[in-house]
Structure 1
């Protein structure tokens, strides 16, 4: 029997993602996320674009859902932190997709929705 984390592990572990859309967020063109998943625990690092260095920690919450806390240091020296809840899916080409609802906890206000796609290049 597969655990809820099995699908997420198969779709995220040791894979990289790039921004597909993020109108109100900081990550954008050039930002690359690299995920690790172990026993339902998620971690990632990200950088590029306006992000000098970022990290995420989170957990699998269902067969295709996750929640994360994130923090980053921008090129301008801003230190920001936030939360997100996401859905793991696949596009028509079979690439893994991530769709998030997110908000800031520190360093900024507001929130939004963002979409990411597996970087297969």
Structure 2
């Protein structure tokens, strides 16, 4: 299975929520939905303090990818940043995501975040 096939299987049209994000804006009410098209990855996200956000990125390895993200908050802040992600799997078979990220505009600093797949 090539890199983009693995990412498609683990991410495409799947929803994720925050497992931990101590320095970021997204929280338990934020839901991310990812789409994969070859090496390209996109997503939309909203909920909690995020009014609307989107991401665009690319596959960088078998379990890794990089993204640029932007959002507008419920307070009207316009923010943008970068992240490097790694895809995994928890003991229940759900896809997990771990990110190292930083702000590029609208805020300073960065951190690490973890997400887990939402199963209907």
**What range is the shorter-chain TM-score in?**
over 0.9
Once residues 98 and 120 of structure 1 are traced to their aligned partners in structure 2, the CA distance between those partners, rounded to angstroms, is: 15
The equivalent of 2:58 in structure 1 is 59
Shift >6 Å, 4+ stretches: none
Q: Is 1:119 aligned with 2:118? A: yes
The equivalent of 1:47 in structure 2 is 46
Count of aligned pairs between the two proteins: 120
Once residues 91 and 43 of structure 2 are traced to their aligned partners in structure 1, the CA distance between those partners, rounded to angstroms, is: 25
TM-score by length of 2: 0.99
The CA RMSD measured in Å over matched residues stands at 0.5
Q: Cα deviation per residue 1:71-105 (whole Å; 9 max; x = unaligned)?
A: 00000000000000010000000000000000000
Q: Is 1:8 aligned with 2:7? A: yes
Once residues 9 and 88 of structure 1 are traced to their aligned partners in structure 2, the CA distance between those partners, rounded to angstroms, is: 11
Once residues 5 and 94 of structure 1 are traced to their aligned partners in structure 2, the CA distance between those partners, rounded to angstroms, is: 19
For residue 29 of structure 1, report the CA deviation from its aligned partner. 1.5
Q: Cα deviation per residue 1:25-81 (whole Å; 9 max; x = unaligned)?
A: 000011000000011100000000000000000000000001000000000000000
Superposition pairs of residues 1-121 of structure 1, within 5 angstroms: 2-121=1-120
